[in-house]
Amino acid sequence: MTTVHWLEQARSQGITWGVPWPRGTTPDDTTFALRDGTPVQSWTTATWPDGSIKWSAHAIGPVGHPAPSYELVAGQPAPPEHPVSVVEADEEVRVTSGEVSWVLTKPHLISKILYGEREVAREVRLVSIKQDGPDEDGSRTRQQTTASVDQIVVEQDGPVRAVVRLTGRHGEWLPFSVRLYFYAGATDVRIVHSFIWDGDPSRDFLAGLGLSADVPMHDEPHNRHIRLAGPEGFLTEAVRGLTGLRRDPGEPVRRAQVAGDPVGKIPNDEVARRLHLIPRWNDYTLDQSSADGFTLRKRTAPGHAWVTIPAGTRSPGYGYVGGISGGLGFGLRDFWKLHPTRLDIRGAATDCAKATVWMWSPSAPAMDLRYWHDGMGQETFAEQLEGLEITYEDYEPGFGNAHGIARTHELTLRAHDTTPSAEELAEHAAMLNSPALLTAAPETLLQANIFGSWSLPDPANQDIEDRLDFLFDYYVGQREQRRWYGFWDYGDVMHTYDQDRHTWRYDVGGYAWDNSELSPDLWLWYQFLRTGRADVFRFAEAMTRHTGEVDVHHLGRWKGLGSRHNVQHWGCSCKQLRISSAIYRRFYYYLTADERTGDLMDELAQAEETFLAVDPLRKVRTDVYTPDPSALSVGLGVDWGALAAAWLTRWERHGDEQARARLVGTMADIAALHYGFLTGQALLDLANGRFDTAREQISVSHLSAVFGLPEICAELIDLDLDVPGFEKAWLDYCRLYLASPDQQTAEVGRPLAGISLPQAHSRLAACAAARTGDAELAKVAWRKFFHDEGDQLNRNPMQRVEDWRITEIHGPGVLMPVEEAAFVSTNGASQYGLAAIQNLALIPEHRQ
């Protein structure tokens, strides 16, 4: 029925992926198989309005010799040779896959890991360190806490894939959720850890966050092995080293120890009788303090000095501790990108070692989430609007609190029955950092008619395709040159460039971190859909992980709302659905079936209630308004677009009839408004989820259609939900936004005010032209796309061909040599990308 291929090179680990199906082609009771007989587990992640499958998810276990592609067909799947089984009994969950068993009991994540009958590890647990003051406070104290699991829920129980969700808290703070992923025949578990920061930034400082496991050590010290990953390979050491000694134990002995093989009897008695005089190295630490470097050190025991080991640049974040009779592999994905991170091995010379993967290194300064300035006297809305005029920061006292932000990390633990080879470890590290994924070809995705208006790359318009590639490649290069990495930062990009300082405006109010402003997420995902490029997918994946977690409040006063762009991701007082919108998460969820992303969208199940928490227009209102459950002011652009995305996603994922009713009902209400989308705002009654349709006004914002509204409207119109007048209301807005003042006056009685970003809005004209067959409107769309006529708020030189180049900056005036394209801003790049993609899809034949 459809063919899927590897996003990157195939790797033999358990994987999960998503596939779309054209409407009406795949009944909801369809079972799936892989034609070559590979065992597969399948489930539905979304349905079309007619009940047929829209998206399905599929999982396979490790494959010894992966095929280049697989054909997914209707039929009964083959059973796995070693199915993963889940048994729940007496407060215990036991997951078995082949020879490895994982025993889950509270309060730890995993109480035991067994390889056959041998215990490889025990008491896998989350640990954290809380500090009561900032590092500059000399009287600070630290308290280490072991997290406690409160609930264990089996979400899937095989036969190919099992998923167990555990929730709890790090002591009295930091609620967390962890999902454990097991695959048939696999010896590893994938761990997805998410935590929410709920401390008081003035007195709570996170000084360490990690995952620890105890590893029994049964072998002689010279048959115990330490492996820690560097950029090219591994630190390869034994607890008691037999190489480099004054007396040579013999080449076979040395070779065996370095390879991790059993040393056996040492033939040289000069060495054998002096083993007790060879130091036993007990503790190891790899500390990745920045994206540019890690340090290594080891010691023989607590109370003795650390010995430094040659340092390196970027560690993949993978290690092993154990011996010839088995041990534990452990690692953290994107280790150096999410610095400060650390790998610890303690007690390797004792009966029980401890391996810890630190997501926040205790060596680093404690995490400081205090607000970045003192407010500068901006107490009133008038003063705050003045600040907005100079630094573009929308400040408000108390609104820069990080309470409720979150972060997700992906880790792995792997059970071994012997010390793995260097080649095996390298493969495991590669699988961790670039997880395998199967995906349908862009042609297949396009034929399924998902995600609205887009098309395949068009060789007839190669100049535009080249510019799309230029912009993406530029951001990849900027992320590396500007080091857009770190625990809270990785995945985001900067908003605007400062040509005078040859840097992005990282320290200027609202010009710093972008936080999804003007939809770079959408641009990247559409570019992936149409090209299938792995590098585009990985960039979009990192952005989705970041923006869905860090830029959104997941509990507290602003739960469900995101924060506008700022020097700190959470710093802006503009808390809106335009940042937390499900429209930015849907792509990743459906392509990967990632449960954590599903959680983020489920948080928006009642997204309309967030309008009770804060009025988005409170600082600029000229009317008197207090949020009222029966009459909530909702913008028909940025706000309703996010609500519609949440409702549609809820309906197609869960069959939620209330979400469907609110979606279809508000679509009908917009159609019933005298000026449709041009009305600007409408009043929503939370009780019935409907708009008051009596309002007659015209209010247009240049931001209404740059946060996913065109994309969600395209999907809704394609769904043909039988809402008379909705398509007309949308197409009227699309036609008139870039129309001449005379045409606007003729149709609605006056020219539209607030018109800006014409290049971005060229795709609205293209939409109307394509739907109505208006060739002249199509020409207007292309003219606005190429010339950006009349834009006074966002002067955009991106249309001049001669400006599309990169300049290298060297010399004493810059911190380091950099490449810059000063004409590029993320607003402009994102909207250029979306306009280009949609114009090429809708009206390519009208380009002149």
What is the tens place of the pLDDT at every residue in 40-67? 999 999 999 999 999 999 999 998 889 9
Please state the φ and ψ torsions of residue 423, each to the nearest 5 degrees: -65, -40
For range 349-377, the mean pLDDT: 97
Report if pTM > 0.85.
Answer: yes
Domains held by the chain: number: 2
Helix ranges (H only) for 38-171 are: none
Contacts of 419 (CB under 8 A, 6+ apart): 225, 227, 260, 261, 320, 322, 323, 324, 327
Structure confidence at residue 188 (pLDDT): 97
Q: What pLDDT was estimated at residue 244?
A: 97
In a domain, 351, yes or no: no
Report if residue 44 sits inside a domain: no
Residue 12: pLDDT band with limits 50, 70, 90: confident
Q: What are the φ and ψ backbone dihedral angles of 183, each rounded to 5 degrees?
A: -125, 150
Is pLDDT above 50 for 112? yes
Tell me: pLDDT of 527 over 90.
yes
In a domain, 581, yes or no: no
Dist. CA 240–CA 288, nearest whole Å: 26
Of the three residues 214, 236, 263, the one that is the final residue of a domain is: 214
pLDDT of 297 strictly over 60: yes
Distances (CA, A) of 441 to 15, 18, 330, 341, 434: 17, 12, 33, 36, 19
Locate 750 and state its tokens: 């006056």
Which residue type is seen at 258?
V
Q: Is omega for the bond preceding 741 within 30 degrees of 0, making it cis?
A: no
Select from 165, 186, 214 the last residue of a domain. 214
- pLDDT band per the 50, 70, 90 thresholds, residue 791: low
**Position 208 confidence tier, pLDDT thresholds 50, 70, 90:** very high
CB 589 within 8 A of CB 597: yes
Per-residue pLDDT averaged across 266-290, rounded? 97
| DSSP state letter for 709 | H
**Which pair of structure tokens corresponds to residue 333?**
């994905």
798-826 pLDDT, tens digit each: 556 667 899 999 999 999 999 999 999 99
- Asked if 344 and 358 count as a contact pair (C-beta separation under 8 A), the reply is yes
The Cβ of residue 3 has, within 10 Å, a number of other Cβ atoms equal to 15
Tell whether 132 is covered by a domain.
Answer: yes
- pLDDT beyond 60 at 286: yes
pLDDT tens for 684-708 read: 999 999 999 999 999 999 999 999 9
- CA dist 28 and 542 (Å) reads 32
Beta bridge pairs of residue 808 = 819
Residue 743 resides in a domain: yes
* Overall residue count recorded for the chain in this entry: 848
In a domain, 532, yes or no: no
pLDDT at residue 800, rounded to an integer: 61
Chain-centroid distance of CA 569 in Å reads: 15
Q: For residue range 714-742, what is the model confidence (pLDDT) as tens digits?
A: 999 999 999 999 999 999 999 999 999 99
What is the pLDDT, as a whole number, of residue 588? 98
3-class secondary-structure state, position 845 = helix
Give the gyration radius of the chain's Cα atoms: 29
- Does 46 fall in a domain? no
Query: What value does the mean pLDDT of the chain take?
Result: 96
CB 57 within 8 A of CB 92: no
218 exposed, middle or buried (CB, 10 Å; 0-12, 13-18, 19+)? Answer: middle
Pick the last residue of a domain from 707, 732, 755. Answer: 755
Is residue 776 packed enough to be buried (19+ CB in 10 Å), middle (13-18) or exposed (0-12)? exposed
Query: How high is the pLDDT of residue 258?
Result: 97
Flag the least confident range among 568-582, 734-748, 794-808.
794-808
Q: Quick check: is 680 in a domain?
A: yes
Helix count (H) and strand count (E) of the chain? 19, 37
Torsion of CA 313, 319, 324, 327, to 10 degrees: 170
For residue 188, the enclosing domain spans 85-214
Helix spans in 164-311 (H): 251-259, 269-272
- Would you say residue 792 has pLDDT above 80? no
- Identify the bridge partners of residue 181 per DSSP, sorted by sequence position: 163, 190
